Amino acid sequence: MESIINAQMPEFKVQAFQNGEFKTVSSEDLKGKWALFFFYPADFTFVCPTELVDLAEKYDRLKEMGVEVFSVSTDTHFVHKAWHDASDSIKKIKYAMLADPTGVLSRGFGVMKEDEGVAYRGTFLVNPDGLVKVAEVQDNSIGRNADELLRKVEAAQFVATHSGEVCPAKWKAGSETLKPSIDLVGKL
């Protein structure tokens, strides 16, 4: 299995639902920006709305950090709108909900569950050069935590602007980092 880390994000052009409107989103739109892709199996399900609302609660902070947020499922943009209109939880979402009924994104990021035609729970952070810097995929029965995701975004952005520094386990913005060197070998 080939790693997706530091791979170029796939090219795409898909429909989306955001803030009461349909729009088109493409890989071209994301050049020069940080982008977070948050794949989930399907609208009108159980674990998915808990995750999407958790992420919605971090959306303003992610926007302040210059991160475009996209939830993605294999549902159509029409289904995203219907879910938004039917669910008080989903009405809280302000980020774009990408429609991937053909699976171009799900396959491009390696999260398509072919036997069901849905995506696994996959989270991918793409840097302004279009390279995947964070990738996490898990079984669809396991929900994610937006606080941990926010920490990973902060760490990825920190190391992108601080050459030679790395973020240790449980690192949070403002905490001490490490500068790998021979002096640290065997000392940590």
Which burial class, exposed, middle or buried, applies to 5 when counting CB atoms under 10 A from its CB (0-12, 13-18, 19+)?
exposed
Distance CA 124, CA 115 (A): 22
Tokens of 134: 């964070």
Residues 6+ apart with CB under 8 A from 173: 154, 158
Q: Say which of 48, 52, 105, 126 is annotated catalytic.
A: 48
Distance CA 52, CA 90 (A): 7
Residue 4: left if φ>0, alpha if ψ -120 to 50, beta else—which one? Answer: alpha
48 is catalytic: yes
β-strand 96-99 against 67-73: which pairing, if any? parallel
Which residue numbers are catalytic?
A: 48
